[in-house]
Structure formats: C-alpha cells, structure tokens
Amino acid sequence: MSDWFYTKHRQQEGPVNLQMLQMMIREGQLDPATDLAWNTSMSDWLPIGQIPELQVQVSQQMPSLESSSQPFAYPLGTGPIHEISPGSERIMATACLKRAWDLTIRNIGPLLLATLIFLIIYIATEFSLSLLDKAMEWRNPSQVFVDQMGVTEDQKLMYHSVFKDQLSFPSAILSILINVFLTLGATRLGLKLVSGEKFDIGMLFSGGPWLFKGFIAHLLYWIMVIVGLIFFIFPGIYLAIRFGMVQPAIVDRNMGVIEAFKYSSRITQNNRVELFLILLFTIGITIAGCIAMIVGLLFAYPLIFLMWIVAYRWLQYGGRAILDDPMTGAPMLAGQTENS
C-alpha cells in the first residue's frame, strides 16, 4: 500500500503507512470530518471519513459533517474548482445566508466603512440634485403629468405635495448613474471578498469600465420587474429572480447587456425557489435593519449584498465555492477566479 499523507490542524503530515494512520484515527488523534488524507492512488485530498479504506475505522466516532464550521455538509476536496452545468446543483438559501454572515463578521471593519461611504455619497447626491432642481426650476415627471391630466387645482396641490420630493428627469438619470457606478464597484468588491481575493475600499469607485452596460441593464431590469409587478405581482417576482445575477455577470465576466441577461437566466434555472427564499431573507433582514436604525442598516446592507454574491458563486461553481479550504482556512475559490 502506498504511503499516506494527512492533515492535522490544517498542517500536512506524513508519510505514514495505512496501519499507522488507522491507529491514529482509532485513538482520536484525527478528526474524520475535517482532517484530510491522500496517497498516490488518489486524485485529490479527501476528508478521512470519506475514504473507503478508512471508513470502517471511523464508523463509530465520525461526527456529522453538518456539525462542522461549514454552512452545510458537502464533500471537501482541495483540488481545483470548475464551473458546473447551469442548474445541475441545488443551492441552499440558509447556507448562503450563513456564509454571508460569516464573511460579514470576518470583514466587518472594511464592510461597514464601504457601506457608510456608499450611503453618505447617496444621501449627498440626492440632496445636491434636489437643490439643483430648485435652482433650475425643474419639475419632476409626476408633477408635469398631473398638470396635464385636467384635474382641479385642489387635486393638483395634493398630487404636487405627494410627489414634491421626486427628482426631475435629468437629475433622476444622473442619480441612477451614480448609484449604478457605486453598485458595480461594490459588486467587484463583493466578488473579490467571496472568492478569497484581496480587496480594498477603493474598489467601490472602480465601476467605470462597466458603467454604460450596467446602466442599460439596470434600466431594463427594473422596467421588466415593475411591469411584471403591475401584472399580478408574480411575473415581477419571477423576473427579479431570473435576471437577478445580471450585474454580477457584467462585472465578473465583462459580458454585454443581452449576454448577461441570458447568462443570469441560465445559471438560475432549477434554483428559483431557493432564490425566492433568499429574496424573502433580503426583505426580512432589511426590515430588521430598519428597526435597529442606522447601526442595523450598516450591517444589513453588506450582509444582503454578500448573500446574493455567495448565491451567484454557488450557481457558477457548485457548493464547494462557498466553503473554506480545510487545509488553509481560506475560501476554496482563492486564486481560482479571474474576476476583474
């Protein structure tokens, strides 16, 4: 039998013969769920509890993989991760939430700072554009529409008061551009973080290369979703889920608008129920964040954002993509993606 190598506390040890390895397992020196083993007859490292030669030795003491620090039970090889066939693997909404929570806690400082910068810029933009509208005497589209409806003066005053905080059309377009720019940058930051790559706060301002495509995709997406919501609600929810991965695809793969919509539709197939659950989690977390006021929202926003990025990576690469490497503790995707 070939000599065996194994990991203990994420450090590689060996070689040892099979009998020695079996003895170590019997004595509880190795954890069958998290410690790995390998020999030259195997193509990849595997948890000890999944190796046939060692299965009998650990049958009485092997703990459930679900009790490990990973968000769900999954075979933990350490080799390269490859893209899966679209729709070939079911994701788990709870595991996406758990992974997003862990990543948020690990990177709480940079994420809170990025979220705070995003919100400050958003608020400052809306305030500045509102002042611009007043200075230029630009009216918002709702007020213009009401004036052309032929309603009474009292009704006009009521509608104008309701829509008074809306931006004019030019200011609204500029506001959307700035929001899309920051969102694309945040998407790049999120992809790096989830994939175990280096990231920094400056990435928040790196959305320029995808701004035009991201802006067009943003408009098309929300037009479809809003029209779908108007028509019996369900079509809008379906479209929101089916095309919810358009922006990550544009940043991650530098896809064109139509190509990104097609890609999002492909990778979300057979997973729309779980994605709907993630949408429900998004609503629940947002409500909880609002109840907790500013501090709650600062935590809720990155948690929600990362939850969708985690789901995107799982849809692309399978469940291993959202786990940590048992040997290094780094995300399994570290060094294996080419996102910008």
Per-residue pLDDT tens digits for 209-235? 999 999 999 999 999 999 999 988 899
Across residues 312-332, what is the average pLDDT? 85
Q: How many CB atoms lie within 10 A of CB 87?
A: 14
**Contact indicator for 244, 264 with CB cutoff of 8 Å:** yes
The verdict on whether omega for the bond into residue 75 sits within 30 degrees of 0, i.e. cis, is no
* pLDDT given at position 51: 84
* pLDDT given at position 66: 42
pTM of the model: 0.77
The pLDDT tens digits of the residues spanning 280-310 come to 999 999 999 999 887 888 999 999 999 999 9
pLDDT tops 80 at residue 340 = no
Give percent of the chain above pLDDT 90: 53
CA distance 165 to 185: 27
What's the distance, Cα to Cα, between the start and end of the chain in Å? 45
CA distance 205 to 242: 27
- 3-state DSSP assignment of residue 214: helix
Across residues 25-46, what is the average pLDDT? 81
CA distance 148 to 156: 10
Averaged confidence pLDDT in the chain = 86
Domain layout of the chain by residue ranges: 4-67, 93-137+171-322
CA-nearest of 219, 214, 205 to 246 is: 214
* pLDDT given at position 153: 67
* pLDDT given at position 189: 97
Instruction: Give, to the nearest 10 degrees, the angle between helix 257-267 and helix 293-317.
Output: 80
Higher pLDDT, 202 or 3: 202
CA distance 65 to 72: 8
CA distance 271 to 84: 14
CA distance 325 to 316: 18
- 3-state DSSP assignment of residue 87: coil
pLDDT tops 80 at residue 76 = no
Give the angle subtended at the CA of 121 by the CAs of 193 and 102, to the nearest 5°.
Answer: 25
How does DSSP classify residue 126?
H
* pLDDT given at position 159: 62
pLDDT tier for residue 94 given thresholds of 50, 70 and 90: very high
* pLDDT given at position 207: 96
* pLDDT given at position 9: 76
